[in-house]
Amino acid sequence: MSKDNMKRVTGLGGFFFKCDDPNATKEWYKNHLGIPTDQYGWSFWWKDKEGNDCMTQWTPFDAGTKYFEPSQKQFMMNFRVENLEELLKVLKEEGVTIVGEMETYEYGKFGWILDPEGNKIELWEPIDEPLL
């Protein structure tokens, strides 16, 4: 597949933000907005236009987290992508700053880049199967 035909972002995979007390923040969202939080935040399950199961993650992080580094911003977006390995190669060729090495877990592959403003962006090639 040529880089011109390559799918890049296919959806929002998650929104992560820093806060002083993640547990109190999750409780507030649970109590006032009805978000069914767990230890990670909220895994919001939905269907794409083809009817496939998909998930978006909402997570408050401790204000001192190093996970967003090298960005100094208070948030990090996670975008769903297809074929992360090829996409990271193309982005590197295009001069995009790649942060760290790709990581693989039972729920998908992850890679990180920086946008021109220094925002760290997490790229996620998901395996959209509910973990039971």
pLDDT tens profile 58-115: 999 999 999 999 999 999 999 999 999 999 999 999 999 999 999 999 989 999 999 9
Q: Tell me whether residue 31 is exposed, middle or buried, using C-beta atoms within 10 angstroms of its C-beta: 0 to 12, 13 to 18, 19 or more.
A: exposed
- What is the pTM assigned to this prediction? 0.86
Domain residue extents for the chain: 9-117
Strands 75-81, 9-19: pairing is antiparallel
CATH assignment of 9-117, among 3.90.1480.20, 3.10.180.10, 3.40.50.2300, 3.40.630.30 = 3.10.180.10
